[in-house]
Structure 1
């Protein structure tokens, strides 16, 4: 079940990126479940990762490899998270990197491994290694569509972004794919996301862009409030377009690149929310009038995570009392309830500490019957604003997660 229109786009090639997806039979036969990226020599790579203390073995290894050597390959498996697998999990992730290194002549540290799927199960590393020769042989610049499908788990549809910009007569491409539908409150990025451009961006600036873009996109989405053990988001710049390297956060080319990279991250983040497990509503929680960023986010997430609000959304029930209760327990110091205003879309429902005099149940019902709903909250205490995107909570979410391992 998915909401909204987020069709997988026609993907432009990104010079310097070849990729493919092949079948390894990790969880199911005849399903593409191993994805390989091959990057041109000289590419820069940056990443942000989960803050979960039980981070998966591939996350640990990715961090180490990013600090050790220029990255040439990425390998992703779906169907198994290789998380909470101890020293064996690290050995298995390293074995995957070593297999690619042996067949390509790069160092194992030049390979980044990623996994997504069931937590706590040993990685079927032999199946992955057996699939690597086929993946290396089949990688092409046209492999984005297969890769987008290959990283899926409970997703109902692949998620992609592809746009081009012009600068000084040169065409720059930015592509991205992501996966995620449940266990989504990233606290860094999404479950898995890969964004690539053929522009040339210095490593330190690329890392800054990766952090800033994730913070305004994947760090602003939640399906169920659960932060995965495997969340990873990678930003790649191959430098294949004949333009000067961008190494400072200033200038026309930097601004153009920042805008399109941010657009990619935000589009992919919203695509994940639209495909939330069992989702029937796409919900924007916009908080403004805050004194600072943290209190705006505290209120937004209190509303977005409330099971009472999420189930009311599923039922199309304008039970606005649940919204104000969540605002009230969000922990904003000395919040003056009489200054808080709440809208459902453009319908004012709360002001002056109670129900707006203009509000009718029919107005609220009309909004809640829609698929795309905005809960707009003005705290009336400052000029800071933040936005979080979420979903409702349906019977189908329970079914999907009850049956996840079957």
Structure 2
């Protein structure tokens, strides 16, 4: 099978490569890269060169599937294993078929220019993601390095910061890092007026704004909904019971506004969730809420349960918040492997009886939670109780 050699090349081009990387490219028979990267190779390279066609992902898939050549060389920007090409290649074909020659990443170069400690800096990528993916990282005093998709990314970052009450944050756009055309532009998000930055840029954000926690239990007003919303105290309790963990897949069944899946996703960087909702208007609302909270890339909105449950990957964790019946409960239970976690909430006597019976058959913990809020009673104040919630938590 073909072996792939990925060589990271920075804006400083050929001269910035190590001797080993240069020797590797001199021995190459076929080199793939962007037109910009290929233009950095010296005339003495005897390899055949091919520029990536658009979309690059489809072209890369074809190259990886072609076993007609013993060794193929691929050019990548900066450190290929940091949000880069080599990481995608390793995911596709395995590390044993890939050799990587890394260069300094744009993040490392940016931290060096700014004097920022990378261990205390959040890194986010807009290369394939939307600008809203920055939202979970926004809090007063945070430092964020944003890998830009293009020259318009800084403007979109500034727009987001203004919209999320972080307009006094400082933006520094570092363009063409390591190259002869390296540039640095600094300003406030609230008055940002750089319409177009260099195509190759990274945005450094020093957040000034409200202190925001990632803990579950966001205010109810943070979600668009039609009343189908797990209220704040019950949501905080439920997300904690669901025990968010990296790399896990959550089913949110009867998702309503999507608030449980969204806050579960906010606790991890690599978790994924599927929200099942029969009502198409609510399904669109779930997607909009996920975008606003910066987790849309990791949340999929599916159709009605239990039918739609059979057409998606099996979960690690299941939450049932709506439409609870015996068939749905059995289907979700059967979908879990050993060690899988199921949490179900009930507010009616009928669904409560289902959970009591399920606990008798399958074990787990059953709790009943009541919450009262202080509210106006004429000119005085009184406690106003919410409907109690019965919650069943069980590990298969």
Same-fold status (TM-score > 0.5):
no
Structure scoring higher RCO (CA < 8 A, sep ≥ 6) equals: 1
Q: TM-score, normalised by structure 2?
A: 0.26
